[in-house]
Structure 1
Amino acid sequence: MTRERSLLLDHLEAERNHVLAAVDGLDEANLTRTIALSGWSIAQLLNHLTYDDEIFWGNAIIGGDQEAIGLIQDGWKVPVTSGDEAVELYRHWARRADAVLAEVDLDAPPRWWPSEEVFPFPPFADARQCLFRLLLETATHAGHLDMAREGIDGHQHLVVN
C-alpha cells in the first residue's frame, strides 16, 4: 500500500470512527427522533452516509459493484426501520468500501458513473477524486452528528480549550 493510500484510508477510518462515536450509546428514541429543523434524525443521517456515500461513492462509483449500483437512491428518503439497523447498515457498507479502496488504482477512472438523470455532474477524472469526496462527506457529517449529540446529552467529541 502506498503512503498516500494509507494516509487517505487512515483519515477515512478516523472520520468513520468519529461518526460511530457520535452515535454510540444512544437509544432508539434518540436515534430516530427529529434533530434538525430540516426534519432529519440521526438514523436518517446515517442512511445518507450509507446510501449516498458508502454505497454510491465507495462501492458503486469507485468499485463498480453491481449490487451497490442497484441500491442507489436518495439516502435522506430511505425509510428508517430502526436506529440500530441504520448503524449496522453503515458499518456493513463501509467495510465493503474498504475492500474496494484497498485495491483500487487511485489513478484510474471510476469503474462506473451514473447517468445524468441520476447524477447531473461530469465524471471525476480518477478514483482518487471520488475517495476525497467520500472522505469530505464523512467528515462533514461527523461534525453534524457532534452537534446533534451535544444537543441530546451534552457529549462533546473533541474540545480544545
Structure 2
Amino acid sequence: MTRERSVLLEHLDTERRHVLAAVDGLGEDAMTRPGAPSGWSPAQLLNHLTYDDEIFWIGAVVAADEEAISLVQDGWKVPVTTGAEAVSRYRRWCRRNQDVLEGLDLDAPPRWWPPAEVFPFPPFPQTRDCVLRLLVETATHAGHLDVVRERIDGHQHLVLG
C-alpha cells in the first residue's frame, strides 16, 4: 500500500468511526426524530452516507460493483425502517468497501460513471478524487451528527480545554 493511500484510508477510518460514535447509544426515537431544522434524522443521515457516499462513490463508481450500481439512488429519500438497521447497513458497506480501498490504484480512472440524467457532472479523472470526496463527505457529516447528538443529550465528541 502506498503511503498516500495509507494516510487517506487512516483518515477515512477515523471519520467513519466518528460517525458511528456520534450515534452510539441513541435509542430508536432519537435515531428517527428530526435533528436538524431541515428535518433529517440521524438515521436519514446514515442512509445518505451509505447510499450517496459508500455505495455510490466506492461500490459503484470506483469498483463498478453490480449490486452497488443497482442500489444507486438518492440516499436522503431511502425510507428509514429503524435506526439500528441504518447503522447496520452503514457498517456493512464500510466493511465491504474497505477491501476495495486497500487494493486501490489512486491514479486509475473510475471503473463506472452514472449516466448524465442520474448524475449530471463530468467524470472524475482518478479514483483518488472519489476517495477524497468520500472522506470530505464523511468528515462533514460526522460534524453534523455531533451537533445533533449534543442537542439530543448533551454528549460532545471532542472537547478541548
Superposition TM-score, scaled by structure 2 size: 0.99
Q: How does 1:139-158 map to 2 (within 5 A)?
A: 139-158=139-158
Other-structure match for 1:133: 133
In structure 1, the residue corresponding to 2:107 is in which secondary structure? coil
> What's 1:123 paired with?
123
1:76 corresponds to 2:65: no
Q: Return the letter of the residue paired with 1:104.
A: L
Q: Report what 1:35 is aligned to.
A: 35
- Structure 1 consecutive aligned stretches of length 4 or more whose deviation exceeds 6 Å: none
Cα offset for 1:97? 1.1
- TM-score w.r.t. the length of structure 1 is 0.99
Question: Alignment identity in percent?
Answer: 70
Is the contact between residue 63 and residue 104 of structure 1 (CA under 8 Å) also seen in structure 2?
A: no
1:97 paired residue number: 97
CA RMSD of aligned residues (A): 0.6
Q: What does residue 47 of structure 2 align with?
A: 47
Instruction: Tell me which amino acid in the other structure corresponds to 1:99.
Output: D
1:106-121 correspondence runs (5 A): 106-121=106-121
3-state SS of paired residue (1:108): coil
Letter in 1 for 2:99: A
Q: Which runs of 5+ in 1 are unaligned?
A: none
Q: Deviations over 1:73-121 (max 9, x none)?
A: 0000000000000000000011111111111211000010001101110
| Structure 2 letter corresponding to 1:119 | F
Unaligned ranges ≥5, structure 2 = none
Match of 1:10 in 2: 10
Provide the rounded CA distance (Å) in 2 between the counterparts of 1:143 and 1:50. 16
- Give the SS at the match of 2:58: helix
Between the aligned partners of 1:63 and 1:134, the Cα distance in structure 2 is: 14
Give the length in aligned residue pairs: 161
Q: CA deviation at 1:160?
A: 1.8
Distance of 1:40 and 1:49 partners within structure 2: 13
